[in-house]
Structure 1
Amino acid sequence: MPIGYGWHNRTVTAPVADLDVDADLVARLLRAQHPDLADRPLRLVANGWDNVIFRLGDDLCVRLPRREVAVTLLVNEQRWLPTLAPTLGVSVPAPVRVGTPGEGYPWPWSICEWFPGEIASLVPVVERRAVAGELAAFMNRLHVPAPAEAPVNPVRGVPLAVRDEQIQDRLASGKLAREDELRALWDELRAAPVWDGPKVWLHGDPHPANLVLRDSSLAAVLDFGDLTAGDPATDLAAAWLVFDAPGRAVFQAGIEADTATWRRARAWALAIGTAIAVFADIHPGLADAGEHAITQVLADQG
Structure 2
Amino acid sequence: FGFMNGSNYYDELTPDVTSYDYDAVLTEAGDFTEKYEKYRQVIGKYTQLPQVHFSSKIRKKTYGTLKVQEKVGLFEALKDISVPVKNTFPIPMEKLDQSYGYILYRTALEREQNLEKIRLWGANDRANIFVEQKPVAALYDRQLLEEVQVNADFEAGATMDILVENMGRVNFGPRIEYQRKGIEGCVQLNGHMHYNWEMYTLPLDNLEKLDFTKGYEEGRPGFYRFTFEVEEAGDTFLDFAGWGKGCAFLNGFNLGRFWEIGPQKRLYIPAPLLKKGTNEIIMFETDGKTAPEISLKAEPDVG
Do the two structures share a fold, i.e. TM-score over 0.5? no
Q: Which has the larger helix fraction?
A: 1
Q: Which has the larger strand fraction?
A: 2
**TM-score for the superposition, normalised by structure 2:** 0.22
Flag the structure with larger Rg.
2
RCO greater where, 1 or 2, for CA within 8 Å and sep 6 or more? 2
